[in-house]
Amino acid sequence: MSSAPAQIAVTGLAVMGRNLARNLARNGFRVAVHNRSQGRTDALVEEFGHEGEFVPAADLPALVESLETPRKIIIMVKAGEPTDAVIDELVPLLDEGDIVVDAGNAHFADTRRREDALKAKGLHFVGAGVSGGEEGALNGPSIMPGGSTFAYAALEPMLTKISAHVNGEACCVHVGPDGAGHFVKMLHNGIEYADMQLIAESYDLLRNVLGLSASELADVFREWNSGDLESFLIEITAEVLSQVDDSTGGPFVDVVLDQAEQKGTGRWTVQVALDLGIPVSGMAEAVFARSLSGDVVRREAAAGVLPGPANPKVEVDRDAFIEDVRHALYSSKLVAYAQGFDAIRAASDQYGWDIDLGAMAKIWRGGCIIRARFLDRIKEAYDRDANLPSLLVDDYFKEAVANGQEAWRRVVGVAAAAGVPAPGFSASLSYYDGLRAERLPASLIQGLRDLFGAHTYHRVDREGAFHLDWSGDRKEHDA
Ligand code: 6PG
């Protein structure tokens, strides 16, 4: 404990807030701590007081009082109304220039609204995405702060110090104004959803087509983790698959109910991408797959009732198929990232955020849930060309997919033949084929729209909009 003014405060001491406060204290910052029910504050100081300098506060006025100016206060409470409630209580206690940081998983539109409201009062509001779960919050998360450059400059020494580091570089950078940080965190979660779905499809295919046991599958993922796919999610997949259930002695993965839950950030990503007009098919399929898994009523009505393939036993060579699935996973994962970066670029253009895409790949290399070796390659791709139209056309990735695309196609074919759902793999492959198509069937869609609704069409050979008099002489007219 210390009587000197605190340098930063954390309010909301559930596990994420508590770990963030401990991380700050362990890194030598004096942290004021507060929680609505004081038990948590006391427990934090009692249990971890030896880790650094904590300044416990009984209420928000005391928390504000304990801080040096400009005050920096991190709110770590549930997204939505609880965050608004804390902001409303805090704002009247603050002075011009003070900085309020929301480090929860807020919707970026809420962050934009809050930033606007606080700016009108002379306060800075920073929506900071923080990824890495409990462990990351304590030992070094990836941090994606938005808001004013003034606020970032004041926070930078602390945030970069407590963030994860890769090759000595902090996994924290100023993303852009207002909601930019929370937008990028939302997209991180969308990619996290897609990545997990693709991993789950790989597991399902290898298990059903090859009949591998959970522990054999763990070995496959462990092996993959030593190559291009090296990542936190692949590493923990091997860990989950090798876990044995105490009570049954069988694989842990077999005793877990097959209904995935979701708090909402993946769904937000897809909703927002729809509004931006950016296909995020891998992420959308991941959200839908979770919804389907939880739709017990329809699953019970269909299971064992709807017929599958007459002969679901597909003959494949074990090692060759494992290698094919590895390629399908890598290529589909690349599509998810390509789509994610497209969405970030589109939002950055729409909201005037000027986001540096390469810097986002850089701060995702460590600390966060999607951290992966792959992100170095993405950073290099944007270093080569900051205006890359799609990650898929970068030379390195183009080559990687060119090497794996036949395998990817075989895997989607095997999945269909065996009746194993692979929505992530197949939607990603269709996106890839759509993107590279010289000509898409959208021409027919335009024809249909013009026939039933006089919606007009454009021609390949002349400028202008046209309409055909479908119910009359079928002659073309300028629209
Ligand atoms: C992170 C995680 C974190 C959280 C997800 C889980 O970056 O640390 O993404 O934010 O674990 O929100 O999301 P679902 O409950 O929706 O799967």
Q: What is the pLDDT of residues 85-118, one digit of tens each?
A: 999 999 999 999 999 999 999 999 999 999 999 9
Rounding to the nearest 10 degrees, give the CA dihedral for residues 175, 178, 182, 186.
-90
Task: Give dist(CA 152, CA 101) in Å, integer.
Answer: 10
Q: Report whether residue 137 contacts ligand 1, using a CB cutoff of 6 Å.
A: no
Kindly state the average pLDDT of the residues 285-294. Answer: 98
Give the sign of the dihedral formed by CA 242, CA 248, CA 249, CA 254: negative
Ligand 1 pocket test: pick from 78, 183, 189, 364 the residue with the most ligand atoms within 8 Å of its Cβ: 189
pLDDT at 310: 95
How far are the Cα atoms of 74, 133, 434 from residue 170, in angstroms, in the given order? 19, 17, 37
* Helices 149-162 & 15-26 angle (0-180, nearest 10): 80
pLDDT at 4: 87
**pLDDT digit string (tens) for 374-406?**
999 999 999 999 999 999 999 999 999 999 999
pLDDT at 129: 98
Q: Which two tokens stand for residue 272?
A: 């927002």
Q: What are phi and psi of 132, to 5 degrees?
A: 135, 0
Pairing status of strand 169-170 against strand 457-458: unpaired
Residue 311, Cβ density class (10 Å: 0-12 exposed, 13-18 middle, ≥19 buried) = exposed
CA of 189 to the centre of ligand 1 (A): 6
2 pLDDT above the threshold of 60: no
Q: Report whether residue 265 contacts ligand 1, using a CB cutoff of 6 Å.
A: yes
pLDDT at 205: 98
Q: Which two tokens stand for residue 343?
A: 């969405």
* Helices 281-294 & 180-210 angle (0-180, nearest 10): 60
CA of 403 to the centre of ligand 1 (A): 33
**pLDDT digit string (tens) for 174-224?**
999 999 999 999 999 999 999 999 999 999 999 999 999 999 999 999 999
335 pLDDT above the threshold of 70: yes
Angle at 213 between CA 209 and CA 218, to 5 degrees: 105
Rounding to the nearest 10 degrees, give the CA dihedral for residues 63, 66, 68, 69.
50
> Shortest CA distance to 194 belongs to which of 299, 108, 265, 106?
265
Residues 6+ apart with CB under 8 A from 193: 262, 266, 269, 283, 286, 287, 290
Ligand 1 pocket test: pick from 263, 293, 368 the residue with the most ligand atoms within 8 Å of its Cβ: 263
Task: Give dist(CA 394, CA 48) in Å, integer.
Answer: 48
Whether 185 is a known active-site residue: answer yes
Q: Which two tokens stand for residue 148?
A: 């004013």
SS3 content of the chain, % helix, strand, coil (to 5): 55, 10, 30
**pLDDT digit string (tens) for 214-242?**
999 999 999 999 999 999 999 999 999 99
> Shortest CA distance to 269 belongs to which of 393, 183, 397, 378?
183
- Catalytic, out of 185, 333, 362, 379: 185
Q: Which two tokens stand for residue 391?
A: 């990650």
For the chain, give the percent of residues with pLDDT over 70: 99
- Residue pointed to by tokens 């909601």: 179
